[in-house]
Structure 1
Amino acid sequence: MSILLIKNGNIYAPEHKGEKDILVINDKIVFIGQNILTSALNVIDKNIKIIDASKYIIIPGYIDQHVHINGAGGEGGPQYRTPPIQFSEFVKAGITSVVGLLGTDGFARSLKALLMKARALEQEGISTWIYTGAYEYPSPTITESILSDIMLIDKVIGVKIALSDHRASHPTLDEFIKVTSEARAGGILAGKAGVVHIHMGGEKQGLSYLFDIIKNTEIPIEQFAPTHLNKKDEELFRQVVEFGKIGGYIDLTAGASGEEKSSKSIKPGKAIKRLLKNGVSIEKITISTDGN
């Protein structure tokens, strides 16, 4: 048995709890309270590790739903391929839960390798999941279909696809509805979310497919998790505001600075302020890194 006592940390969980102690036994937080006595714990184990966190803020680990954990890149040639992310990089960033996915390259990059990387990171100490699919349509899968990937593979919680992007396969609306329906059915049968995680490009079509599906089918708006919604332009962001106002999830990309003269992206902080000002619920707004 290992016992860790973190003393006097300023805790957000995520609501503010004030200064409290955290008692960890093995790998579980078993108690949060004030003035936990080390003398009482010494009866259980004399080798208690104590950390003085009186000058620190303690928060839950971050959830990052869009990370190329096994590397990405390759646009421009093989020399631009990026390497897999190491466990230490997540820890330094405070990320403890991550969803891995493929990017533009769904051919040389493998979903099987992505799955094994996710399993490796889990064994090292963080929680991991993956999306099946990639930019293109038909979606690459590990088994015979999107539905069976979600049903049969524990770590697959949904599918990734790209829309409104010059690198995408430009699926028709009916083809995109088929992808969405498969993910939804797989999620229902497996007891998972069946997320449709959408890389949004900068073409004029924007979020039109999503609005069409929400209006003309019984697929709920919560099925969709479009991302990069602050990386493109004002025309897309106006659609994003409307999507959020009717209950859609909005995922912003942390690395969008909006500082380059040629950039049309919006800083995440500014994007959040605009969304809240326009009546979008904070519970519908997320940020991911698009790491590696």
Structure 2
Amino acid sequence: MERADERLLTLLRVGRIQAPEPLAATDILIADGRIAALGRDLAIPTGWPVEVIEARDLIAVPAFIDQHVHVTGGGGEGGCATRCPAISAAEIAVMGIGTVVGVLGTDGISRSPADLLAKVRGLKAEGIAAYMYTGSYRVPPPTLTGDVQRDLAWIPEVIGLGELAISDHRSSQPSHHEIARLVSEARVGGMLAGKRGICHFHVGDGQRGLEPLRRLLAETEIPAEQVIPTHVNRHRTLLEEAADYALAFEASVDVTAFDEVGEEDISAFDAVARLLDRGVPVTRLTMSSDCNGSLPEFDAQGGYIGMRVARNTALIADWQRLVNEAVLPIDQALGLIGANVARVLGLEAHKGHLAVGFDADITLIDDDLQPQQTFVAGKRLYARDLSP
């Protein structure tokens, strides 16, 4: 229940707005979780219940969107003792992230879509905009209702199917027909629910690479916007294939911001730079963290050696580096973790931009591009403590 003294309106006064394009406005009026007005020196009638937040030294940008988060924790490849921990709302908001999409990975047994839904709803209760994919690496995928279409149609938080694993020794080695059927199920389920019904594909380091998705788009009527492969920067051969795939099918690809780049992995910064050099339009590129998932190591026979837990810090660091090293101007770079992601997920009507009527998901960054405050649906979830 809302407290009687809680302000119904919030007025942000900032130094600059990147929406992601630069705006002349410096004031953002928030009402009922949405942006009600943008302007300069907006005047609020005397007596209106408004909280004014002065942040003239900060830049307002759309709160970041992370489309690949193991919110319940990933892992388990080395047994129950290797399950990764769940993520907290604070860990999300402190990085300027306002929206996450939860995924199950290898372990769809001890962790279930029901666990994932419960965590997503918990994050929502704490203020994060949270969604989920039904399914996991496995085919047939575990679901909430027993059917992919029904999950999409009846569960509001379910916006797609994933992360289905291909070209990986941990996948179910799905056939072309199985992949085509599942993608079409997600597509129709999404249509029935007014959602995109995206299929989010985990791509391993197997030799087949993106061939299953190339064949899907070449041999069926499925549009390229229905699928997005992630982890395409596992190694250079896969990244080059991802560039060819994006250009041939006018498709989107997602790079992972690895927090520790190994001998084969390519950083998200280098991957984006390379894809741009290959001529892939920036609007077809997205970045995600894979945070709280496992980063397992296997020997040549596929035996488990060890594991690290992924974090979301590299996502923001690589994004900052793209701007600071002039690979992309800030408005285009914001698309990689904002507008482009919103479009891929089918959320572009209300997320990814700062515009009247859009969700008031706003991150305030400083001149070093460091998140200082995070608002989701107009509620401040994070503010950096500047006390000595």
TM-score computed with the length of structure 1 as normaliser: 0.92
Shift of 1:185: 1.8
Equivalent residues of 1:250, 1:284 under 8 A apart: yes
Q: Deviations over 1:117-174 (max 9, x none)?
A: 1112112212221111111111111112212211222211111110001111111111
Distance 2:9 2:144 in 1: 41
Q: Deviations over 1:91-127 (max 9, x none)?
A: 1111111111101100110110111111121122122
Identity level (%): 40
> Among residues 166, 170, 184, which one is paired with 1:167 in the alignment?
170
Alpha-carbon distance change, 88 to 41 in structure 1, aligned in 2, over 3 angstroms: farther
Equivalent residues of 1:9, 1:57 under 8 A apart: yes
Shift of 1:12: 0.7
Report the AA paired with residue 276 of structure 1: L
Alpha-carbon distance change, 234 to 21 in structure 1, aligned in 2, over 3 angstroms: same
Shift of 1:50: 2.8
Equivalent residues of 1:131, 1:159 under 8 A apart: yes
Matched, 1:233 2:235: yes
Shift of 1:44: 1.8
Matched, 1:32 2:38: yes
Report the AA paired with residue 71 of structure 1: G
- The structure showing larger relative contact order (alpha-carbon pairs under 8 Å, at least 6 residues apart) is 2
Report the AA paired with residue 151 of structure 2: D
Partner of 1:247: 250
> Among residues 185, 194, 199, which one is paired with 1:196 in the alignment?
199
Partner of 1:269: 269
> Among residues 121, 124, 136, which one is paired with 2:123 in the alignment?
121
Shift of 1:19: 6.0
Equivalent residues of 1:256, 1:266 under 8 A apart: no
Note the 1:121-200 alignment, pairs <5 A: 121-160=123-162, 161-200=164-203
Equivalent residues of 1:12, 1:18 under 8 A apart: no
Matched, 1:9 2:11: no
Alpha-carbon distance change, 140 to 26 in structure 1, aligned in 2, over 3 angstroms: closer
Note the 1:38-57 alignment, pairs <5 A: 40-45=44-49, 48-57=50-59
Alpha-carbon distance change, 152 to 19 in structure 1, aligned in 2, over 3 angstroms: closer
Report the AA paired with residue 36 of structure 1: L
Provide the secondary structure at the position in 2 that maps to 1:136.
Answer: coil
Shift of 1:212: 0.9
Equivalent residues of 1:135, 1:169 under 8 A apart: yes
Length, aligned pairs only: 284
Shift of 1:8: 3.2
Q: Which runs of 5+ in 2 are unaligned?
A: 1-6, 293-388
Provide the secondary structure at the position in 1 that maps to 2:66.
Answer: strand
Report the AA paired with residue 144 of structure 2: I
Shift of 1:257: 4.6
Partner of 2:286: 286
Q: Which runs of 5+ in 1 are unaligned?
A: none
After the TM superposition, which of the residue ranges 108-117 and 75-84 deviates more from structure 2? 75-84
Matched, 1:219 2:222: yes
Provide the secondary structure at the position in 1 that maps to 2:94.
Answer: helix
C-alpha root-mean-square deviation of aligned residues, in Å? 1.7
> Among residues 15, 23, 27, which one is paired with 1:21 in the alignment?
27
Report the AA paired with residue 235 of structure 1: T
Shift of 1:18: 4.8
Shift of 1:271: 1.3
